[in-house]
Amino acid sequence: MNIFDHPLASLFSVFGQTGAMMKNSLEQLLSSGSQCYD
């Protein structure tokens, strides 16, 4: 299955740079949150 056929992938392509920034900030939130449990 082509990853670009996924609706989320098309969403990110629509938002472009904004979507990438949101994804990066989400990953940073998750990583910083997991550090609290260490």
pLDDT digits (tens, 9 = 90+) for 1-38: 565 566 777 766 766 778 788 888 989 988 887 776 55
Per-residue pLDDT, 30: 86
What is the structure's pLDDT at 36? 64
Predicted local distance difference test score (pLDDT) of residue 32: 86
Q: Crossing angle, helix 7-15 and helix 17-36, to 10 degrees?
A: 110
pLDDT value for 2: 60
SS3 per residue for 1-38: CCHHHCHHHHHHHHHCHHHHHHHHHHHHHHHHHHHHCC
